[in-house]
Amino acid sequence: MLGWDQATYMPPGGAVARARQGALLSRLAHEKFTDPALGELLDELQPYADGLPRDCHDARLVRVARRDFEKAVKVPADFVARWSAHSSASYDAWTKARPADDFATMRPLLERSLEFSRQYAGFFAPYEHIADPLIDGPDEGMTTAKVQSLFAELRSALVPIVRAIVAQPLIDDSCLQGSFPEAPQMAFSLAVIKRVGYDLGRGRLDKTHHPFCTKFAAGDVRITTRVRENNIAEALFSSLHEAGHALYEQGVDVAFEGTPLNSGASAGVHESQSRLWENVVGRSRGFWEHFYPLLRDTFPDHFKVVPLEAFYRAINKVARSLIRTDADEVTYNLHIMMRFDLELALLEGRLAVKDLPEAWRARFEADFGIAPPDDRDGCLQDVHWYAGSVGGGFQGYTIGNIQAAQFHAAALSAHPEITAQMARGEFGTLHAWLREHLYRHGRKFTPDELVERATGGPMRIAPYVAYLRTKYSEIYRLPRVSQRLV
Ligand code: ZN
C-alpha cells in the first residue's frame, strides 16, 4: 500500500521517508518469512502433502510455500532491505531524470542496481546463466536458454511480417490526436473496464507515471493509468491493459485469500491477460463496433467526422516507433527482445552501464532502422531497470503475447460465439472461460501446467503468429503475406 501511495498521491517530499519505510517493511516481512520455524512447519507438512492427491489445494499450497521459502532463505534480510531502499531512491530519481533526459544522474544508480541484481543471482549459484535466477522468480520454469530459443523462433516469424507491413503506406492515425480533457477520458476508460468485467466494488482507477495493478486482497485490486490530453489512446489502452491484470487477480479463488496461492501464476501468464484484454479484445473490430458510439458521445466534436473503420485502422497502425509502451502488437516484441539481450549483456559484464545509451542506440537502429534522438526515449524510457532488478523483468511481456493468443484461440474453439458477443458489448462468456481455466487457480499450477490444462498443449508461437498474420493481412491488405509465410 505504501508503494501504491508513492506512485499515486504521495507528495514528492515524502520520497526519502518512504524509501526508509519500504526498506523496514521489506526487511520485517523477509525476516518473518525466512524464520526457521516456518521451514520446520513446512518439513512437518511435507508427508501430509505427499499423501494428498497431486492436484488438491493443500498439496499445491505446500509446494508453492516451499518454493517461496527456499528462494527467500537464500537471500539475507539485510540485502533485501538495502536493495529495497536503493530501488525506492532510484525510482524517485528516475521520475525526474527521465523527463530531463538525464542519464548521467541515473548511471551510478543503475550501476548499483546491476550490482544488486548480480549479487542476488549469486545467492542461487550454481546456475547455468546469471540471469536464470532473476527469470525463474517471475517466470517459473523459464531459463535464459529457453527464452532465447523462444525469441529466436518468434523473431524469424515476425521479421517478414514487419517487412511486408512497413513496405505498405503508413496508416493515418491522426484521428487519435486532438484535445481530450482528462476527466471525460478517465470516465470513458472507467466505463470500458467496468463493462469488460472489472469489479469497481473491489477496485479503483487512479493516475500514475507508469501504470500498474496491485492487489491487497481479493476485495481490493487497484489499477492505475496515465493520461495524455493530446492523445486518446494512452489512458484508454493503459487502463484496459491494467484491467486485464486486475480481472485475473479479482478472479482468483477466494479460498486462497491470505495464502501464497492468492495471485497470478507468473509474470508471463499475467501479461497474457493484460495483453489479451488490451489487444486481442480491445483492438478488435467487434469491440469498437460496440464502444465507438460511446466514444463519439464522449468526444462528439472530434469523432463525429471519423468513421469507425478509420479509428480501427488507427489503433492498429504498425510503425517503427521509439517507445515500447506505445508500440503496436507486431513490433512490440522486437522492443522486448532488444531489452532482453541488453540486460543479458549487462549481467554477463559484456556491456558497461556507461556504454548503455550508445549500445541502445546502435541496437535500436539495427532493429528498427531509426535512432532515438535522446536517452529519454531511449534507455531511460522504462522504469524496470531503475526500480528493480536488471534482468527478469521483460521476457514476461513477450511470453504474455504468445500465451494471450493461445488462450484466446482455446476459448474461441470452445465458444465460437465469443466474437459476435463482443460486438454486442458482452464479455461474459470469454471472462467466464478465463476465470474457469486460468484465474481461479491463482498460483496453484505452474505456468506450464496452466497452459497445458487450458489449451491442451505446451506454449507455442503458432496461434500468435496466425493471429498476427490474419489480422494484419486484412488491415494492410496483404493477400500474399499469409501464403508466402506459411
Ligand atoms: Zn502488464
pLDDT tens-digit series, residues 330-350? 999 999 999 999 999 999 999
Centroid of ligand 1 to alpha carbon of 266 (angstroms): 11
CB proximity list for 455: less than 8 A, separation 6 or greater? 406, 407, 409, 410
The whole-model pTM stands at 0.94
- Check if 474 is active-site: no
The answer, yes or no, to whether residue 388 has pLDDT greater than 90, is yes
Tell me, in angstroms, the distance from the centre of ligand 1 to residue 271's CA.
5
Query: How do strand 220-225 and strand 213-217 relate by DSSP bridges?
Result: antiparallel
CA–centroid distance, residue 275 to ligand 1 (Å): 7
Q: Given this model, what pLDDT does residue 480 score? A: 57
CA of 272 to the centre of ligand 1 (A): 8
- The CA distance from 343 to 352, in Å, is 10
Q: Whole-number mean pLDDT of the chain?
A: 95
pLDDT band of residue 484 (cuts 50, 70, 90) is: very low
Cα of 409 from ligand 1 centre, angstroms: 20
pLDDT at residue 386, rounded to an integer: 97
Cα 476-482-485 angle, rounded to 5 deg? 120
Q: How far is the CA of 447 from the centre of ligand 1 (A)?
A: 16
Q: What mean pLDDT is predicted for residues 222-239?
A: 96
N- to C-terminal Cα separation, the chain:
49
CA angle 250, 256, 257 (to 5 degrees): 70
Nearest Cα neighbor of 271 from 213, 225, 340, 327 is: 213
d(CA 63, CA 225): 35
Q: Which residues contact 153 (CB under 8 A, 6 or more apart)?
A: 461
82 and 23 Cβ atoms separated by less than 8 Å: yes
Residue 486 has pLDDT above 70, yes or no: no
Cell numbers of 186, please? 478517465
| Residue 382 alpha carbon to ligand 1 centre in Å | 13
Q: How confident is the model at residue 387 (pLDDT cuts 50, 70, 90)?
A: very high
Q: What is the DSSP letter of 280?
A: I
Phi-psi category of 299—alpha, beta or left, where left has phi over 0 and alpha has psi -120 to 50?
beta
pLDDT exceeds cutoff 70 at 385: yes
Give the residue among 177, 204, 182 at the shortest CA–CA distance from 193. 204
Catalytic residue (choose from 234, 242, 249, 329):
242
325 confidence band (pLDDT: 50, 70, 90): confident
pLDDT at 326: 84
Kindly state the average pLDDT of the residues 149-158. Answer: 96
Answer yes or no: is pLDDT of 466 > 70.
yes
CA angle 342, 346, 352 (to 5 degrees): 110
Check whether 372 has a pLDDT greater than 60.
yes
The alpha carbon of 342 and the centre of ligand 1 are apart by a number of angstroms equal to: 20
Q: Give whole-number Cα distances, 319 to 164, 165, 241, 279, in Å.
A: 12, 8, 20, 16
- pLDDT band at residue 251 using 50, 70 and 90 as cut-offs: very high
Q: Quick one: CA dihedral 347, 348, 349, 355, positive or negative?
A: negative
Distance 186 CA to ligand 1 centre (A): 19
pLDDT, tens digit, for every residue of 46-75? 999 999 999 999 999 999 999 999 999 999
Which is nearest to 325 in space by CA: 264, 273, 389, 275? 275
3-class DSSP assignment, residue 405: helix
Tell whether the model's pLDDT for residue 485 goes beyond 60. Answer: no
Q: Domain 154-329+396-485 adopts which CATH fold?
A: Neurolysin; domain 3 (1.10.1370)
Element (H, E) at 205: strand 205-207
**Lowest-confidence segment of 76-85, 127-136, 369-378 by average pLDDT:** 76-85
Q: How many whole angstroms from 181 Cα to the centroid of ligand 1?
A: 25
Smallest Cα–Cα separation from 440: which of 204, 311, 252? 252
